[in-house]
Amino acid sequence: MLAARRELREQLRFAATLALVAAVALAVVIWAAARSPIALRSISIAAGICVVVLAWRSRPDSGRSRSRPPGSLGLKNSLDAIVDRSFYMGQLQRHGRVFKMAQFHQPVVCIVDIGKGRELLKRETENLVLAPLPISAEIPRGFIRYMKPDDYAVYSQLFRSAFSEALLEANRELMRDAARRELVELAAASDAASHAGVDPRRSIERLMFTVLLRIYFGDLIEPSDRGVIEGCCRGIGSGNTIGRASPRARRALQTFDKLIRERSNDGLAAHGDHSSVLGGILRLKPEAGADSTAIGNLLLLLEASRDSIGGLLMWILKNVADSPESIEMIRGARDGDARAGELIECIVFETLRLAQSEYVYRIVTRPIEVDGFEIPKGWLTRICVAEAHRQDPPFDRPEVFDPARFVNRRFSSNEFSPFGLDQHACLGAQLTTSVSGAFVDVLARNFDVRVVADGAPERGNRHWNHWRPSSELRIALSRRGTE
């Protein structure tokens, strides 16, 4: 709900900026028309030249003589890519697996082939870099993803060790209990709402905080800290916009820094429950409790977890509600059976394949070659993972939600790679599959769910925003009485 409100605010800000630019341009034209025929003529000529240049640049075969890939760099493509979920598939069908487009002024080479993408990242490691989010600059040594190699070696190792298999195992029951509690409440609300169904977003948001605060902090924080930390997450979530980090995001980092320093300091860290990410970090590096880089990263990871796993749970709920037969196979398997675990994983993988694996971006820092095309410095590369996950072969009837495709079949990493392609692969992959697996297990065994109302998937107005189920999604959820 809050994320939706933030999204709405961003959309309004974007629309307001466009309106302002249009209003200023109109005012200049009106002024020139009234006061200066020479200025008006100059503006008309400049506008005419702009139109011709933009039209020339928009041709799908522009740059062919310089070995650029096919595809239009026009503004229309840029806007279509934001609003049309099938945009990249359409370009693939038109131009092949390597094509170009633009994200506003920024040219992008798109590669719809995980194997080619992986090979490119390996071959051109030096010439392809990550584009940092502004919030990273507010953390002394930056966010892990964008750190310099020496810092990356230290902090990546620290956090990867803290998100251990043992930690996830220790919290497995908690994940299931929290999912059960939240779904029982949602089922009661659904019962009361009768035919109208319920909006599951607030329940998923609450579930995420309950589970993640436990996994991240265990007993190292006080119950009253929950509201403060939730506020910090919302603040930091508002900072991932273009340009500078927002003042609200900066304040969130400061508040969180102060809180974690206090909690690490006040003795709880020494005697408390160490089955948490923060506990693991303090055990490995006791001075991390006073290290703003470790603390800032902890907050960014927490917010990334809330956003990405929460989004995945929403897609799981929608996909399962759309095809209730998909969870029948789990109901047939005995609780705790290894087979049940595999079937749960199939639902998670199929949801990742269809709904929440999207892309890998890099900036080109020196000219590179992609499939015989020459890509200049300054372009972006976009490895289109989501579109590669919709190819037949290897995925038969790729648009159909069919978890059974993963039963008894392991796709190679060049066919299915939702969590990244190189050394920057996802740090939260196991956390994601553990939390979402517990959710699927509880949902499948104890509840029936179906869609009552729905709309088209939605996203923010940035090319890197993730698609989410419609805010109009309403579900009917009922208990199966087998708990």
Residues making contact with ligand HEM (CB under 6 A): 144-145, 156, 301, 304-305, 308-309, 312, 352, 356-357, 360, 418-420, 424-428, 431-432
Q: Which residue type, as a one-letter code, is found at position 267?
A: G
Q: Following CA atoms 22, 24, 29, 34 in sequence, which dihedral angle do they give, to the nearest 10 degrees?
A: 140
Is the CB of 134 or the CB of 428 nearer to ligand HEM? Answer: 428
CB of 185 to ligand HEM, least distance (A): 24
**Beta carbon nearer to ligand HEM, 468 or 474:** 468
Place of tokens 């880089």: 293
Shortest Å, Cβ 400 to ligand HEM: 20
Nearest residue to ligand HEM by CB is: 428
Nearest to 97 by CA among 63, 70, 120: 70
The nearer residue to ligand HEM, 7 or 262, going by C-beta atoms, is 7
Among residues 55 and 425, whose Cβ is nearest to ligand HEM? Answer: 425
Q: What are 332's two structure tokens?
A: 């047939």
Give the nearer residue to ligand HEM in terms of CB position, either 132 or 428. 428
> Which residues contact residue 236 at a Cβ distance below 8 angstroms, ignoring those fewer than 6 apart?
135, 249, 252, 253, 256, 299, 300, 303
Q: Count other Cβ atoms within 10 Å, centred on residue 97.
A: 17
**Cα-based angle 366, 367, 370 (whole degrees, multiple of 5):** 130
The CB-of-216 to ligand HEM minimum distance in angstroms stands at 9
Give whichever of 123 and 331 is closer to ligand HEM, judged by the CB atom. 123
Q: How far is the CB of 213 from ligand HEM (least distance, A)?
A: 14
- Nearest approach in angstroms of CB 178 to ligand HEM is 16
Strand ranges across the sheet with 106-111: 98-103, 106-111, 380-383, 360-364, 128-129
> How many C-beta atoms surround the C-beta of residue 232 within 10 A?
24
Smallest gap, in angstroms, from Cβ of residue 395 to ligand HEM?
17
Taking the complex as a whole, the smallest distance from the CB of residue 480 to ligand HEM amounts, in Å, to 27
Q: How many CA atoms lie within 13 A of 410 on its CB side?
A: 3
Query: For residues 87 and 152, which CB has a smaller minimum distance to ligand HEM in the complex?
Result: 152
